[in-house]
Structure 1
Amino acid sequence: MMIVVIGKSGQLAKELADISNEEQLVCLGRNDIDITSMSSIEEQLGKHKPTAVINASAYTAVDKAETEKEQAFLINHKAVENLANYCKTNNVHFVHVSTDYVFKGDKGSPYLPNDTIEPQGVYGASKAAGERAIADICPNISCIIRTSWVYSQYGNNFVKTMLKLMQEKDELGIICDQIGSPTWAKGLAHACVNAAENKVVGIHHWTDSGVASWYDFAVAIQEIGIEQGLVKKITYIKPIMSEEYITAAKRPSYSVLNKLSSYKYFQSDVFHWKSELTKMMNNLAELKYE
């Protein structure tokens, strides 16, 4: 088994590298491969002869995408189309990570994998276009894994931003009317490898279990941070509505994903988001994160 991960510096790619050995998995970053170029893909993947490709690379600047539409679609659609064509031609299993942003966010109950997608912004639309490319090109040798609210000890994410702001601010206003499921990238990494090794096909959802608002998430980060010595003082966390914090891109108000198919097809353990958050923040504490 040889798995090539597209991505090297992102939080998911780093977690994938952590859980796998070098004989089984190699990560290719933007300095190693240009996924917008078919010739680069053929040359670089040809060197490794993968049995599976995991695409952990994406344009994820949700607000900037509103003014950088061409770049968002280049990475999230055209590059995915290129990878799908390579996998089809070479009979390589393709695992692609997508997002809850492909949904409108007004269903009020967990979204099923086959629910109608209706993205509300450029980022979601570009990810939806990537999904459609895979479905058109290599549906029988691909697995799309939608996820949400991903964080890790690596990279930039909500958890690390909150820890920083809690050191600097006496009060934080955090949105309380957007609901989803926080997801530790390590669990997502295990799901991706499982999908690659077992050649899981179709669209599936993977997040940690349970639901939260961004406000709930921030409160948990502070509570756990105080317990583990990552937070040195109490910051008042004030719940606010989305209309009080205007962003360039509209966020889904409810993007909880139904994960029942994942429980069936993925041989990965599922844990509540708060217990996973505790584990990740314990890792940060051991690294003496500041």
Structure 2
Amino acid sequence: MKFLVTGAAGQLGTDVVAHLADTDHEVDGRDRAMLDISDATAVDRALAATKPDVVINGAAFTAVDRCENEVDVATAINEHGVRHLARACARHETHLIHISTDYVFDGTLDRPYREDDTTNPQSVYGRTKLAGERAAFDELGDDATVVRTSWVCGEHGNNMVKLVIRLAAGDTPLAFVDDQRGCPTFTADLAPSLVALAEQRPGGVVHLTNSGAVSWYEFVRATLTASGHDPDRVRPISTAELDPPRPAPRPANSVLDDVRWRALGHRPMRDFREPLSELVERL
């Protein structure tokens, strides 16, 4: 198959393009300079020129706190950009794999979130990402597959693993919240899983994360351990103790249940500690 990957210079997009380059598939990766998905004309021209079988949309405005003040930018990319892609995909008979987020939920559920659970985003980021999901389905129906993931980390771009390693090199006291829980997800595992989904083109919503639910505090301890530092350097705090407080509210429960992924015949993605150790070694 021929793939068009948007956001190809991003943390996830870089690994998706690299993985596809090692397969029998053909891949055309476009970063924002090459394709701004908020430009409807540019999107349609790109699909007309490349004629992909599948578009994997890794383009997004993911600066969660900045979204609170830059609503127009977040909307242009996370909602309207997805609609532009979906409309172009419909015109060119292309399947869309769109990457979404745990932030579409309010985080109040007392169990992992399944694909059919009620959404209730509490932040601008979450609302614009949910609007993007709906735009994809409005334009494409079952020719769109929305993949919700969480706490993404990889070799490229900024993420928690890199932050912790950088902080651990100094003597700054470390404190991270222990009342927000989720599943760290590593692009080295997520990228090939997205391609596997693209080969199936199931349509609908699929939750996809690495296994192992932890708090941010526990994740930082695991990262310190993996990188050879003392995990007791970090202390737990509550979200209410953050100083300064974060502009965007975070869901307390971000744990996603991969019910549909397993129903499609796939094994759960491995425990996050394995790709964490591998990433630390590469860094």
Same fold (TM over 0.5): yes
Report the alpha carbon displacement of residue 21 of structure 1 after superposing the two structures with TM.
Answer: 1.6
Alpha-carbon distance between aligned partners in 2 of 1:211 and 1:247, rounded to the nearest angstrom = 22
Alpha-carbon distance between aligned partners in 1 of 2:128 and 2:156, rounded to the nearest angstrom = 25
Change (3 A) 1:157 1:151: same
Alpha-carbon distance between aligned partners in 2 of 1:236 and 1:140, rounded to the nearest angstrom = 48
Report the alpha carbon displacement of residue 235 of structure 1 after superposing the two structures with TM.
Answer: 6.8
CA contact under 8 A between 1:166 and 1:235: conserved in structure 2?
A: no
Q: Which residue does 2:277 correspond to in 1?
A: 278
1:238 equivalent among 215, 235, 238? 235
1:49 equivalent among 51, 62, 66? 51
CA contact under 8 A between 1:225 and 1:281: conserved in structure 2?
A: yes
Q: TM-score, with normalisation over the residues of structure 2?
A: 0.95
The Cα RMSD (Å) is 1.5
Alpha-carbon distance between aligned partners in 2 of 1:134 and 1:47, rounded to the nearest angstrom = 21
Task: Give structure 1 stretches of 5+ with no counterpart.
Answer: 285-290
Task: Supply the AA of the counterpart residue of 1:7.
Answer: G
Task: Give structure 2 stretches of 5+ with no counterpart.
Answer: none
Give deviations 1:133-171, integer Å, cap 9, x for gaps: 112111121100000000001110010011001112342
Alpha-carbon distance between aligned partners in 2 of 1:184 and 1:200, rounded to the nearest angstrom = 22
Q: Which residue does 1:13 correspond to in 2?
A: 13
- Identity percentage of aligned residues: 35
Alpha-carbon distance between aligned partners in 2 of 1:5 and 1:268, rounded to the nearest angstrom = 25
Q: Secondary structure at the match of 2:98?
A: strand
Q: Which residue does 2:246 correspond to in 1?
A: 247
Q: Secondary structure at the match of 1:174?
A: strand
Report the alpha carbon displacement of residue 210 of structure 1 after superposing the two structures with TM.
Answer: 1.3
Report the alpha carbon displacement of residue 282 of structure 1 after superposing the two structures with TM.
Answer: 2.1
Greater shift, 72-81 or 29-38, is seen at 29-38
Report the alpha carbon displacement of residue 266 of structure 1 after superposing the two structures with TM.
Answer: 6.0
Task: Supply the AA of the counterpart residue of 2:214.
Answer: A
Q: Secondary structure at the match of 1:139?
A: helix
Change (3 A) 1:239 1:39: same
Task: Supply the AA of the counterpart residue of 2:90.
Answer: K
What pairs with 1:70-81 in structure 2 (closer than 5 Å)?
70-81=72-83
Q: TM-score, with normalisation over the residues of structure 1?
A: 0.92
Task: Supply the AA of the counterpart residue of 1:128.
Answer: L
Alpha-carbon distance between aligned partners in 2 of 1:43 and 1:134, rounded to the nearest angstrom = 19
Change (3 A) 1:198 1:234: closer
What pairs with 1:208-219 in structure 2 (closer than 5 Å)?
208-219=210-221
Greater shift, 64-73 or 192-201, is seen at 192-201
CA contact under 8 A between 1:111 and 1:257: conserved in structure 2?
A: yes
The answer to whether the aligner puts 1:181 opposite 2:180 as a matched pair is: no
Report the alpha carbon displacement of residue 90 of structure 1 after superposing the two structures with TM.
Answer: 1.3
Give deviations 1:207-259, integer Å, cap 9, x for gaps: 00110000000001010100xxxx5x777101000001110000000110010
Q: Which residue does 2:199 correspond to in 1?
A: 197
Alpha-carbon distance between aligned partners in 2 of 1:267 and 1:259, rounded to the nearest angstrom = 10
Task: Supply the AA of the counterpart residue of 2:238.
Answer: M
Q: Which residue does 2:124 correspond to in 1?
A: 122
Q: Which residue does 1:155 correspond to in 2?
A: 157
Task: Supply the AA of the counterpart residue of 1:18.
Answer: A
